[in-house]
């Protein structure tokens, strides 16, 4: 590694630290605004607009750091099967296209920043904040990402040269996708093809590109650029690429996502998840499958302070699996239980997935978050019932605890876990009663996790920094997918595919439940191969209008979709939670991990059936708001 690259890495780390500072300020600003409003009836002027602009500072300065750490999500169906040299050629091709596509966005963002500076463009709220600083930060972050692409191209080319004497042929092969991309942009006459035709072709191309193994954010952007160019020509394409990645990220509704993520990381670093599990273990260890039952209850409680299914699974895997194995719990039961319960964080508020669904479908984030409470409790209850029945049928799966726990020890254990209960109560109760917006609840939850960690002396400065840095990396990874998916969704909208899909479905002479079953099957199949956040961003602009035209409740439908996304986390062969569990216990074959997850997959399917039979589970609580 040369001196210049070391400097570059330091700059990228510094930009990520800047994002961490912004997310911390976002938390403090929102929390203080709530206190000032309710205690002194004097909220911070312009806090709403400032939060929107700060979202740009949270996301874009960290994207180069994500690329540096190879943190982008991809569908590893084909690329993992390649040998190292062909894979290097494939990565080179991806990097060329990424440099071109994100270079265009950076260029357009820079033009908008300069224009905002020259014209003095500002927000029209209480305080006239200028737009140019946020747009300049976005430009700098994307510029740093493009420099990272250049460095990665250099390093990949050097490795290719070192590994293969025929590196020149592989290098030329890597240029073919860039050449094809350029030819498509140069020779397809804009506006000559029917929008519907272009839309379907690009949709198929999008699926093919993702299954080839490109990072999801990159694939969405590449296909959207070709589609826009074909329909509207270069000037409108450039304009859209400058506007959407800024407008869709500087969204107050979405500002809750980094705050939920930060709350989960702070709760983990402060050891709240461990305390909750230990408490549940003391209270439930005596029942059949008690250790696994404690994992369900503790995982559901931690889900109320986390918000992300994958992060919750990783946390529970670190804490629960070693303890369960030590107490003789069957490996398959332990792994299946943790993988399934980890997904509950996507359903129980605060849920990042629910917020993203709300953003895509223009629904109330607060009502969607509350809609997940009762279905989440039902899912946890079903998991506990499953464990009870399995252990009753085969007691060897979970031997009873040998150590007897007194009632005094049980009540004493509550003092170590009240903090996470308070966080969950603050978030869910505040949203349900309408006292807080989801963003305010997320800020108070994150600030509460920080204060409780300090007061209990569980959270020191290095732990806090690690929590913030992990939060920015996760946030940037998610929101780069969101930004590019919104570009693609906008293209799909102008291609008129959603309107056509709604018309076709309405003309079908089939019961609406048949359409619902088709959507469920589609999501189950996609869950075998794809990241479901990206798939939801890709499909909801098409599916949601059609389902609403059939008369389905949007809150109930959102809950069903999120449960399907939870199911995807433990669905082979590419469920993300399966790989997390495999990494925690590398000595156990993946086949055993999958077999352990299978009963919980069926239970998730049962939860979907229950929600379909009793839609009031999802609609009753939001109806009280």
What is the average per-residue pLDDT within 415-431? 75
The answer on 216 and 350 residing in a single domain is no
Name the residue among 558, 600, 90, 124 with its Cα closest to residue 369.
558
Is the pLDDT at 1 greater than 70, yes or no? no
The answer on 409 and 266 residing in a single domain is yes
Peptide bond into 104 cis (omega under 30): no
The answer on 163 and 285 residing in a single domain is no
| Better-scored residue on pLDDT, 60 or 507 | 60
pLDDT band at 77 (very low <50, low <70, confident <90, very high): low
Q: Write the CA distances from 539 to 518, 543, 545, integer angstroms.
A: 13, 6, 11
Q: Write out the H or E segment, with its range, that includes residue 562.
A: helix 554-569
Q: What is the pLDDT of residue 308?
A: 64
Q: What is the pLDDT of residue 19?
A: 92
Q: Where are the alpha helices (DSSP H) in 570-589?
A: 576-584
Q: What is the pLDDT of residue 450?
A: 87
Q: What is the pLDDT of residue 138?
A: 92
Q: What is the pLDDT of residue 348?
A: 81
SS3 445: helix
Residue 182 CB-half CA count within 13 A: 9
* Domain-ending residue, one of 234, 250, 266: 250
| Better-scored residue on pLDDT, 301 or 257 | 257
The answer on 303 and 200 residing in a single domain is no
Is the pLDDT at 536 greater than 80, yes or no? yes
Cα Rg of the chain, angstroms = 25
CA dihedral over 73, 77, 79, 83, signed as positive or negative: positive
As a whole number, the mean pLDDT across the chain is 81
The answer on 291 and 369 residing in a single domain is yes
What is the average per-residue pLDDT within 126-148? 86
Cα–chain-centroid distance for residue 35?
Answer: 29
Q: Write out the H or E segment, with its range, that includes residue 12.
A: helix 3-39
Q: What is the pLDDT of residue 115?
A: 84
Using CA atoms, how far apart are residues 118 and 111, in angstroms rounded to an integer?
10
The answer on 265 and 208 residing in a single domain is no
Is the pLDDT at 554 greater than 80, yes or no? yes
Using CA atoms, how far apart are residues 259 and 442, in angstroms rounded to an integer?
5
The answer on 493 and 459 residing in a single domain is yes
Q: What is the pLDDT of residue 391?
A: 85
Tell me the residue range of the domain where 300 lies. 254-623
Q: Are 536 and 565 in contact (CB under 8 A)?
A: yes
Q: Are 483 and 240 in contact (CB under 8 A)?
A: no
Residues in the chain: 625
Is the pLDDT at 252 greater than 90, yes or no? no
| Better-scored residue on pLDDT, 203 or 144 | 144
The answer on 416 and 333 residing in a single domain is yes
Q: What is the pLDDT of residue 214?
A: 76
Q: Write the CA distances from 503 to 69, 308, 489, 547, 548, integer angstroms.
A: 45, 35, 19, 11, 12
Using CA atoms, how far apart are residues 221 and 235, in angstroms rounded to an integer?
16
What is the average per-residue pLDDT within 82-92? 79
Q: Where are the alpha helices (DSSP H) in 343-402?
A: 352-361, 365-371, 373-393
| Better-scored residue on pLDDT, 61 or 482 | 61
Is the pLDDT at 220 greater than 70, yes or no? yes
| Better-scored residue on pLDDT, 172 or 408 | 172
Name the residue among 497, 513, 603, 507 with its Cα closest to residue 231.
497
Domain count for the chain, please give it: 2
The answer on 200 and 308 residing in a single domain is no
The answer on 219 and 316 residing in a single domain is no
* Domain-ending residue, one of 250, 273, 290: 250
Q: What is the pLDDT of residue 586?
A: 74
What is the average per-residue pLDDT within 107-119? 86
The answer on 304 and 440 residing in a single domain is yes
Q: What is the pLDDT of residue 69?
A: 82
Cα–chain-centroid distance for residue 97?
Answer: 24
* Domain-ending residue, one of 250, 271, 291: 250
Q: What is the pLDDT of residue 356?
A: 83
End-to-end CA distance of the chain: 57
The answer on 602 and 472 residing in a single domain is yes
Q: Where are the alpha helices (DSSP H) in 164-255?
A: 167-187, 195-212, 216-247
What is the average per-residue pLDDT within 579-605? 80
Using CA atoms, how far apart are residues 535 and 73, in angstroms rounded to an integer?
12
78 phi and psi, to 5 degrees? -105, -40
Q: For residue 270, give the DSSP letter.
A: T
What is the average per-residue pLDDT within 140-161? 89
Contacts of 499 (CB under 8 A, 6+ apart): 545
């Amino acid at each position: 590694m040369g001196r210049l690259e070391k400097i570059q890495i330091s700059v990228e780390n510094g930009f990520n630290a800047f994002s961490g500072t912004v997310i911390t300020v976002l938390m403090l600003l929102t929390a203080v605004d709530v206190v000032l409003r309710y205690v002194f009836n004097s909220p911070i002027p312009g806090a709403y607009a400032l939060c929107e602009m700060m979202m740009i500072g949270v996301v874009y300065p960290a994207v180069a750091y994500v690329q540096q750490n190879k943190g982008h999500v991809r569908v590893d169906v084909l690329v993992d099967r390649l040998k190292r040299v062909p894979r290097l050629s494939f990565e080179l091709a991806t990097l060329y296209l990424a440099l071109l596509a994100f270079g265009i966005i950076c260029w357009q963002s820079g033009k908008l920043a300069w224009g905002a500076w020259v014209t003095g463009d500002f927000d029209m709220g209480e305080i006239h904040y200028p737009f140019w600083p946020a747009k300049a930060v976005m430009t700098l972050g994307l510029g740093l990402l493009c420099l990272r692409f250049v460095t990665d191209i250099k390093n990949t080319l050097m490795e290719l040269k070192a590994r293969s004497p025929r590196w020149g042929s592989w290098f030329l092969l890597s240029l073919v996708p860039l050449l094809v991309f350029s030819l498509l942009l140069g020779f397809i006459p804009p506006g000559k093809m029917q929008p519907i035709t272009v839309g379907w072709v690009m949709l198929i191309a999008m699926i093919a590109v993702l299954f080839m193994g490109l990072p999801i954010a990159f694939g969405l952007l590449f296909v959207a650029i070709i589609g826009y160019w074909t329909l509207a020509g270069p000037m409108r394409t450039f304009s859209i690429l400058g506007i959407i990645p800024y407008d869709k990220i500087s969204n107050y509704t979405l500002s809750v996502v980094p705050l939920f993520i930060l709350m989960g990381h702070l709760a983990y670093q402060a050891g709240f998840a461990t305390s909750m599990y230990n408490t549940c273990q003391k209270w439930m260890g005596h029942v059949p499958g008690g250790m696994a039952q404690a994992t369900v209850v503790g995982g559901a409680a931690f889900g109320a302070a986390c918000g992300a299914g994958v992060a919750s699974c990783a946390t529970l895997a670190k804490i629960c699996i070693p303890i369960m194995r030590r107490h003789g719990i069957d490996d398959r039961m332990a792994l299946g239980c943790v993988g399934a319960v980890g997904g509950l964080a996507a359903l129980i508020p605060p849920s990042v997935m629910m917020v993203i669904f709300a953003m895509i479908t223009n629904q109330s984030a607060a009502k969607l978050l509350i809609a997940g409470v009762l279905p989440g409790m039902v899912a946890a209850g079903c998991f506990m019932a499953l464990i009870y029945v399995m252990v009753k049928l085969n007691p060897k799966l979970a031997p009873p605890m040998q150590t007897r726990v007194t009632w005094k020890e049980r009540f004493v254990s509550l003092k170590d876990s009240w903090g996470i209960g308070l966080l969950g109560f603050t978030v869910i109760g505040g949203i349900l009663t309408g006292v807080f917006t989801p963003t305010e609840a997320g800020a108070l939850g994150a600030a509460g996790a920080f204060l409780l960690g300090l007061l209990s002396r569980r959270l020191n400065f290095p732990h806090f920094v690690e929590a913030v840095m992990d939060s920015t990396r996760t946030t940037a990874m998610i929101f780069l997918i969101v930004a590019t998916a919104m570009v693609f969704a906008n293209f799909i909208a102008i291609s008129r595919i959603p309107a056509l899909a709604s018309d076709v479905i309405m003309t079908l002479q089939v019961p609406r439940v048949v359409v619902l079953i088709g959507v469920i099957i589609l999501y189950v199949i996609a869950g075998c191969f794809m990241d479901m956040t990206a798939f939801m961003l890709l499909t909801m602009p098409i599916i949601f209008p059609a389902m609403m035209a059939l008369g389905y409740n949007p809150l109930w439908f959102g809950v069903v979709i999120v449960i399907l996304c939870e199911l995807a986390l433990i669905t082979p062969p590419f469920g993300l939670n399966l790989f997390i569990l495999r990494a925690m216990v590398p000595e156990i074959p993946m086949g055993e991990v999958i077999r352990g997850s299978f009963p919980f997959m069926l239970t998730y399917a049962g939860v979907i059936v229950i929600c379909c039979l009793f839609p009031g589970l999802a609609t009753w609580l939001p109806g009280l708001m």
